[in-house]
C-alpha cells in the first residue's frame, strides 16, 4: 500500500508539473503577452512600446526560465529597464531591490500578483475557494443522498415501472447541461413572468449571507447534472447485487423485502457509487464555473473565467494548480477508497 | 402595418406549418422503418424500445430541420442575421416590420418566437443554430473516435511503454478542467500563433492513418485490391487533409473558416482521450478471448487482429458511447458559445443565444433564452435516449 501511494503521488506531481507548464506556455505566447501589455499599459501602444514594456517587466525571458522563476527553483529576475528603473520579480512594491529575496516562487509560498484584481494570488484563491467550498458543501448535501435514494429505488426491482421512470428521469438530468437547466430554473422559479418568484435569480447576495432563497437555485443546478450519473451507477450496482446468491437465500428464508434492501443489499451496492462520487469532482468543477457565471456568484469558477478572459497569467496558474490538484487528489482518494471498501481487490 | 399579434395557438399552428417538411419526412421515415424493422438489423431493433424510438425521433427532428434549413433554406422564416430596430425584444407573434428600409418580401409576416435584443428573429436563429450543431458535433465525434481508436487499439493490445506514455498523456488532458482548456485554446490570440492549425495537422492525420491500416491489414494478401483501396483513400484523404488542416487545397474547394477550425479541433482534442481510455479498456478485455488466440495461431498480423477481430466485437459499447458523445459534444459546443469563445459575435449559436437571453431574464423577457435552451435540451436528450435504447437492444443480442 505504501509504495502504491508513493508511486501515485510521484505521478501526480509529474502531472501537475506538466499541466502547469502547458498553462504557462500557452499564456506566455507572444500574442497573449501583447494583449496583457495593452490592457496593463494603454491600448494605443505601438509594437516597439509593447516590446519594451514586456522586456522591462521580465516577460520576454525564455519560457523555461520564467517557469523556473514562477516555481521558485531559479532566482527571480532583476532587470534594469530602458526607462532607468530597476525592477525585480521578488521585490514587493516599495521594497528596495537589495532587500528582496532572490528566490520567490510557488515553492517559497509566493503565488505571484494578479494583474486584474491587483492582489496577491494566494489570498484571492483562498478567499474564492472558501466561497466555492460553501457552494460545493450544499451541492454534495443535496446531490449525494438524493442520487443514492434514486438509484437504490430504481435498482431494487430491475425492469419495474418505478425503475423505468426513475431511470428516464436520471438520463434527463445528466442530459441537461447546467446552462440550460439554470436558465430554465431561473425562468420558472425566479421571474415574475411565470409568477412563482420563489427564489432569487442571482446568488451575489449569498456571498455574504447564504439563505435558502438566494442559494437554492445554483445548488440545484449543479446537483441535478451530477445526480443522474451517480444515480445510474448506483442503480446498476444495486441491480447486480439484487441478483446475487445471498439475496436469494435471504428471500427464501423469508426476510421481508425492505429488510433485504436495507440490511443485506445496500452496503454492498454502495461500493461502486463511492468511487463515482469522488470522480464527479472534476465534473462538478466545470459545473461550478458555468453556474457561478450564470448566477454571478464570485467564487473560484468565476475567478477562472475572469483570469482566463484577461490573460492574468499568475492568477490563472494559481487557479489551474488548485483545480488540477483537486482532480488528482480525488482520483487518488477514489482509488484508495475502492481498495479499502472492496475486499476482493488488493494492490500488493 | 396594423396586423394584430398572434395568439399562442396561432403561433404553434404557424410553427407546425414551418416544420411541415420535417414532420412529413419524420413520419415517412418512421412508417418505413416500422414496416421493415425485421430486416434492418440493429437499427430495426431500436423500434422495439419506446425510449429508443422517442430518442430517434428527437434526433431525427433536428437532423431533418438542419437538412431542410441548410440545403433548401426552408424551415426558417427570416434571415437569422437580419436586424430590425422595431422588433427589439418583441414578444412572440409580433407582426414583422422594419424601421429603416423595406422588409424582405419573402420573409415571414410574423416573428413567431419574438425578436432578440438586436431585433433578430429568435425562431430563425434557433433553426440556424441547429445547422451548425448538426454539422460540427457528429464530425468532431467521428474524428475523436478515429484518434481514440487508432491509439487505443495498439495501447491495449501491446501494452508496455507505449501504453504507459499514452495513458499518461490522456490522463494529463483529462485532468484539465475543460473550460480552462477552452479558454487557453479558443482565443483569437492563439489562432494568431497558428497552434490550432498544428493541432489540426496532427489530429486530422489519424482518420487517414486509420483507413490506410484498415485496408492494408485486410487486403495485404491481394496486392491489386489493396493498392486500389489504399490509393483511393490516400488521394481523397490527402486532398481533404490539405484543405481542412492546412487550408492549402490545390483545387481550392475545401477550406475551414479559422474560427470553426479552432472550435472543431479543441472539441476533438477534449473528446479523444476519453475514447482512447474506453477503447483501451475494451481491447484489454477482448484480447483474452479465444478467437483472438485463434487468429494469432493462424499467423494473422497484429493490425489485422486489432482492426478486424477486436474492433468489430467492441462495436456495441462503442456505438452507445458514440451517441452519448455526440450529445456531450453538443453540450461542449454550447459551453463554448456560452462563454463567447470561438465564433463571430453575430452568428446564431445556441449557447451564445442562451447567455444573451439570460441577461434579460431578470427583466422578465423569457422568449429569448428559452427556445435555444429547449432546442439544445431536446437534441441532447434525444441522443441520450437513443443511446439508452441501443444499449438495451444490443445487450439483448
| Nearest-Cα residue of chain B relative to residue A303 | B180
**Is residue B23 less than 8 Å (CB to CB) from chain A?**
no
Interface A-B, measured as beta-carbon pairs within 8 A, has a size of 138
> Which residues of chain A lie closer than 8 angstroms to B362, CB-CB?
190-191, 201-202
CB–CB of A319/A206 below 8 Å? no
The tens-digit pLDDT sequence of chain A (348 residues) is: 788 888 888 888 898 899 889 989 988 888 888 888 888 777 788 888 888 888 888 888 888 998 988 888 888 888 777 777 777 777 776 677 777 777 888 888 888 888 888 888 889 999 999 999 999 999 999 999 999 999 999 988 888 899 989 989 999 998 899 999 999 998 888 887 777 788 887 888 878 888 888 889 999 999 998 898 889 888 988 988 888 899 999 999 999 988 988 888 887 888 778 777 777 777 788 889 999 999 999 999 999 999 988 888 889 888 888 888 888 888 888 777 777 776 665 554
Question: What pLDDT, on a 0 to 100 scale, did the predictor assign at position A329?
Answer: 85
| Nearest-Cα residue of chain B relative to residue A304 | B180
- Residue A88 pairs in a beta bridge with A78
Other C-beta atoms within 10 Å of A194: how many? 12
Question: What pLDDT, on a 0 to 100 scale, did the predictor assign at position A346?
Answer: 58
CA nearest to A296, candidates B353, B359, B350: B359
Mark yes or no for CB contact A31/B358 under 8 Å: no
Mark yes or no for CB contact B175/A328 under 8 Å: yes
State the Rg of chain B over Cα. Answer: 24
For residue A199, how many C-alpha atoms fall within 13 Å in the half-sphere facing its CB?
Answer: 25
Nearest to B381 among A19, A172, A201 (CB): A172
Mark yes or no for CB contact A26/B179 under 8 Å: no
Look up cell 468532431; give the residue: B140
3-state secondary structure of B240: helix
> Which residues of chain A lie closer than 8 angstroms to B184, CB-CB?
22-23, 26-27, 308
Residues 194-223 of B with CB under 8 A from A: 195
- Cα B370 to chain centroid, rounded: 22
> Which residues of chain A lie closer than 8 angstroms to B351, CB-CB?
179
Mark yes or no for CB contact B335/A31 under 8 Å: no
CB–CB of B241/B206 below 8 Å? no
Q: How far is A286 from chain B (nearest CA, A)?
A: 6
**Is residue B19 less than 8 Å (CB to CB) from chain A?**
no
For residue B186, how many C-alpha atoms fall within 13 Å in the half-sphere facing its CB?
Answer: 30
Question: What pLDDT, on a 0 to 100 scale, did the predictor assign at position B1?
Answer: 45
3-state secondary structure of A105: coil
Query: A172: Cβ–Cβ under 8 A, 6 or more apart, which residues?
Result: A228, B381, B384
Torsion angle, alpha carbons of A153, A157, A160, A162, to 10: -10
Question: What pLDDT, on a 0 to 100 scale, did the predictor assign at position A345?
Answer: 59
Chain mean pLDDT for chain B: 88
What confidence category does residue B68 fall into, taking pLDDT thresholds of 50, 70 and 90?
very high
DSSP of A147-212? HHHHHHHHHHSTTSHHHHHHHHHHHHHHHS-HHHHHHHHIIIII-TTTS---S-S--GGGGT---H
**Is residue B184 less than 8 Å (CB to CB) from chain A?**
yes
Mark yes or no for CB contact B366/A172 under 8 Å: no
Q: What average pLDDT score do residues B336-365 get?
A: 83
| Nearest-Cα residue of chain A relative to residue B327 | A175
| Nearest-Cα residue of chain B relative to residue A317 | B180
Q: Length of chain A in residues, anyone?
A: 348
Residue B6, C-alpha cell as written in the block: 398572434
Pairwise CA distance, residues B327 & B379, whole Å: 7
Pairwise CA distance, residues A187 & B370, whole Å: 8
Q: How far is B380 from chain A (nearest CA, A)?
A: 6
CA distances to A24, A279, A325, B155, B305 from B277, rounded to whole Å, are 27, 15, 21, 9, 19
Phi, psi angles (nearest 5°) of residue A196? -75, -50
3-state secondary structure of A6: helix
For residue B322, how many C-alpha atoms fall within 13 Å in the half-sphere facing its CB?
Answer: 15
Strands A86-88 and A78-80: antiparallel
- pTM of this structure: 0.90
Of residues A340 and B146, more confidence is placed in B146
User: Strands, DSSP E only, in chain A?
Assistant: 78-80, 86-88
Burial B342-369 (b: 16+ CB within 10 A, else e): bbeeebbbbbbbbbbbbebbeeebbbbb
Of residues B298 and A197, more confidence is placed in B298
Interface test with A, best of B164, B171, B183 (most A CBs within 10 A): B183
Question: What pLDDT, on a 0 to 100 scale, did the predictor assign at position B94?
Answer: 83
Q: How far is A264 from chain B (nearest CA, A)?
A: 28
Pairwise CA distance, residues B92 & B9, whole Å: 11
Question: Would the pLDDT of B328 be above 90?
Answer: yes
> Which residues of chain B lie closer than 8 angstroms to A308, CB-CB?
180, 183-184
Query: Using the 8-state DSSP alphabet, how is residue B46 labeled?
Result: G
Mark yes or no for CB contact B355/A282 under 8 Å: no
DSSP of B176-207? S-HHHHHHHHSSHHHHHHTHHHHHHHHHTHHH
Q: What average pLDDT score do residues B140-160 get?
A: 94
- E strand or H helix at B152, and its extent? helix B122-158
Phi, psi angles (nearest 5°) of residue A224? -65, -40
Nearest to A179 among B192, B354, B388 (CB): B354
Q: How far is A195 from chain B (nearest CA, A)?
A: 10
| Nearest-Cα residue of chain A relative to residue B340 | A309
Which sign, positive or negative, has the C-alpha torsion A107, A17, B325, B338?
positive
Query: B231: Cβ–Cβ under 8 A, 6 or more apart, which residues?
Result: none
Question: Would the pLDDT of B358 be above 50?
Answer: yes
> Which residues of chain A lie closer than 8 angstroms to B266, CB-CB?
none
Longest dimension (CA), chain A: 90
Start-end of H helices in B220-257: 223-245
> Which residues of chain A lie closer than 8 angstroms to B277, CB-CB?
none
> Which residues of chain B lie closer than 8 angstroms to A328, CB-CB?
175
Phi, psi angles (nearest 5°) of residue A193? -70, -40
3-state secondary structure of A345: coil
pLDDT tens figures, B213-260? 999 999 988 999 999 999 999 999 998 888 888 877 777 777 777 778
Query: Using the 8-state DSSP alphabet, how is residue B7 labeled?
Result: P
Other C-beta atoms within 10 Å of A315: how many? 28
Interface ipTM > 0.95: no
Phi, psi angles (nearest 5°) of residue B225? -65, -45
Nearest to B177 among A191, A193, A323 (CB): A323
Query: B20: Cβ–Cβ under 8 A, 6 or more apart, which residues?
Result: none
Mark yes or no for CB contact A29/B193 under 8 Å: yes
Question: What pLDDT, on a 0 to 100 scale, did the predictor assign at position B3?
Answer: 67
Question: Would the pLDDT of B297 be above 50?
Answer: yes
CA distances to A17, B117, B161 from B165, rounded to whole Å, are 16, 50, 6
CB–CB of B365/B27 below 8 Å? no
Mark yes or no for CB contact A308/B184 under 8 Å: yes
Mark yes or no for CB contact B357/A183 under 8 Å: yes
Pairwise CA distance, residues A107 & B16, whole Å: 64
> Which residues of chain B lie closer than 8 angstroms to A177, CB-CB?
331, 334-335, 376, 380
**Is residue B327 less than 8 Å (CB to CB) from chain A?**
yes
- E strand or H helix at B364, and its extent? none
Question: Would the pLDDT of B108 be above 80?
Answer: no
Burial class (CB in 10 A: 0-12, 13-18, 19+), B259: middle
CB–CB of A257/A176 below 8 Å? no
- E strand or H helix at B94, and its extent? strand B94-95
Give the end-to-end CA distance of chain A in Å, rounded to a whole number.
6
Question: Would the pLDDT of B83 be above 70?
Answer: yes
Question: Would the pLDDT of B211 be above 90?
Answer: yes
Nearest to B175 among A172, A294, A324 (CB): A324
Other C-beta atoms within 10 Å of A203: how many? 25
Amino acid at each position: 500500500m505504501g509504495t502504491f501511494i508513493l508511486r501515485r503521488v510521484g505521478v501526480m506531481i509529474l502531472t501537475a508539473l506538466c499541466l502547469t507548464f502547458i498553462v504557462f506556455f500557452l499564456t506566455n505566447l507572444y500574442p497573449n503577452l501583447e494583449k496583457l501589455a495593452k490592457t496593463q499599459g494603454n491600448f494605443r501602444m505601438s509594437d516597439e512600446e509593447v516590446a519594451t514594456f514586456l522586456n522591462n517587466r521580465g516577460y520576454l525571458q525564455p519560457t523555461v526560465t520564467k517557469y523556473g522563476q514562477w516555481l521558485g527553483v531559479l532566482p527571480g529576475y532583476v532587470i534594469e529597464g530602458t526607462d532607468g528603473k530597476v525592477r525585480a520579480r521578488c521585490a514587493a512594491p516599495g521594497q528596495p531591490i537589495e532587500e528582496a529575496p532572490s528566490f520567490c516562487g510557488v515553492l517559497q509560498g509566493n503565488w505571484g500578483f494578479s494583474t486584474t484584481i491587483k492582489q496577491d494570488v494566494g489570498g484571492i484563491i483562498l478567499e474564492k475557494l472558501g466561497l466555492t467550498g460553501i457552494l460545493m458543501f450544499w451541492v454534495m448535501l443535496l446531490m449525494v443522498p438524493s442520487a443514492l435514494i434514486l438509484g437504490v429505488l430504481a435498482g431494487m426491482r430491475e425492469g419495474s415501472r418505478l425503475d423505468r421512470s426513475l431511470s428516464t428521469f436520471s438520463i434527463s438530468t445528466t442530459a441537461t447541461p447546467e446552462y440550460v437547466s439554470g436558465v430554465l430554473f431561473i425562468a420558472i422559479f425566479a421571474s415574475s413572468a411565470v409568477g412563482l418568484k420563489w427564489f432569487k435569480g442571482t446568488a451575489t447576495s449569498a456571498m455574504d449571507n447564504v439563505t435558502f432563497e438566494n442559494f437554492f437555485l445554483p445548488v440545484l443546478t449543479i446537483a441535478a447534472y451530477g445526480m443522474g450519473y451517480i444515480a445510474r451507477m448506483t442503480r446498476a450496482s444495486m441491480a447486480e447485487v439484487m441478483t446475487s446468491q445471498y439475496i436469494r437465500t435471504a428471500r427464501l428464508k423469508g426476510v421481508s423485502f425492505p429488510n433485504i434492501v436495507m440490511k443485506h443489499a445496500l452496503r454492498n451496492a454502495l461500493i461502486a457509487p463511492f468511487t463515482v462520487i469522488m470522480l464527479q469532482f472534476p465534473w462538478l468543477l466545470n459545473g461550478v464555473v458555468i453556474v457561478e457565471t450564470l448566477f454571478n456568484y464570485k467564487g473560484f469558477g468565476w475567478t477562472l473565467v475572469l483570469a482566463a478572459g484577461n490573460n492574468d497569467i499568475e492568477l490563472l496558474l494559481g487557479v489551474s494548480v488548485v483545480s488540477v490538484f483537486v482532480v488528482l487528489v480525488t482520483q487518488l482518494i477514489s482509488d484508495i477508497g475502492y481498495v479499502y471498501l472492496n475486499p476482493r481487490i488488493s494492490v500488493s | 402595418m396594423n396586423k394584430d399579434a398572434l395568439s399562442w395557438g396561432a403561433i404553434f399552428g404557424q410553427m407546425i406549418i414551418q416544420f411541415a417538411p420535417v414532420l412529413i419526412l419524420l413520419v415517412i421515415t418512421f412508417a418505413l422503418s416500422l414496416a421493415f424493422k425485421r430486416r434492418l438489423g440493429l437499427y430495426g431493433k431500436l423500434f422495439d424500445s419506446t425510449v429508443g424510438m422517442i430518442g430517434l425521433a428527437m434526433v431525427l427532428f433536428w437532423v431533418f430541420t438542419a437538412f431542410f434549413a441548410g440545403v433548401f433554406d426552408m424551415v426558417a422564416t427570416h434571415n437569422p442575421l437580419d436586424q430590425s430596430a422595431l422588433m427589439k425584444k418583441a414578444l412572440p407573434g409580433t407582426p414583422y416590420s422594419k424601421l429603416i428600409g423595406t422588409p424582405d418580401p419573402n420573409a415571414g409576416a410574423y416573428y413567431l418566437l419574438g425578436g432578440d435584443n438586436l431585433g433578430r428573429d429568435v425562431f430563425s436563429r434557433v433553426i440556424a443554430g441547429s445547422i451548425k450543431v448538426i454539422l460540427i458535433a457528429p464530425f468532431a465525434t467521428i474524428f475523436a473516435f478515429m484518434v481514440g481508436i487508432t491509439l487505443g487499439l495498439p495501447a491495449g493490445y501491446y501494452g508496455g511503454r507505449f501504453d504507459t506514455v499514452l495513458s499518461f498523456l490522456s490522463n494529463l488532458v483529462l485532468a484539465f478542467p475543460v473550460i480552462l482548456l477552452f479558454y487557453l485554446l479558443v482565443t483569437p490570440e492563439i489562432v494568431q500563433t497558428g497552434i490550432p492549425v498544428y493541432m489540426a495537422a496532427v489530429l486530422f492525420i489519424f482518420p487517414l492513418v486509420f483507413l490506410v491500416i484498415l485496408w492494408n491489414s485486410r487486403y495485404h494478401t491481394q496486392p491489386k485490391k489493396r493498392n486500389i483501396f489504399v490509393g483511393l483513400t490516400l488521394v481523397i484523404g490527402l486532398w481533404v487533409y490539405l484543405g481542412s488542416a492546412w487550408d492549402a487545397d490545390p483545387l481550392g474547394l475545401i477550406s475551414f473558416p479559422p474560427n470553426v477550425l479552432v472550435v472543431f479541433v479543441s472539441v476533438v482534442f477534449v473528446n479523444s482521450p476519453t475514447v482512447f481510455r474506453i477503447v483501451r479498456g475494451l481491447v484489454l478485455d477482448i484480447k483474452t478471448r479465444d478467437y483472438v488466440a485463434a487468429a494469432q495461431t493462424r499467423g494473422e498480423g497484429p493490425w489485422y487482429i486489432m482492426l478486424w477481430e477486436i474492433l468489430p466485437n467492441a462495436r456495441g459499447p462503442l456505438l452507445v458511447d458514440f451517441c452519448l458523445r455526440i450529445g456531450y459534444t453538443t453540450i461542449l459546443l454550447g459551453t463554448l458559445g456560452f462563454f463567447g469563445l470561438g465564433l463571430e459575435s453575430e452568428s446564431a449559436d445556441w449557447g451564445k443565444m442562451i447567455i444573451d437571453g439570460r441577461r434579460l431574464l431578470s427583466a422578465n423577457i423569457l422568449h429569448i433564452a428559452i427556445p435555444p435552451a429547449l432546442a439544445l435540451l431536446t437534441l441532447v436528450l434525444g441522443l441520450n435516449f437513443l443511446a439508452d435504447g441501443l444499449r438495451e437492444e444490443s445487450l439483448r443480442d
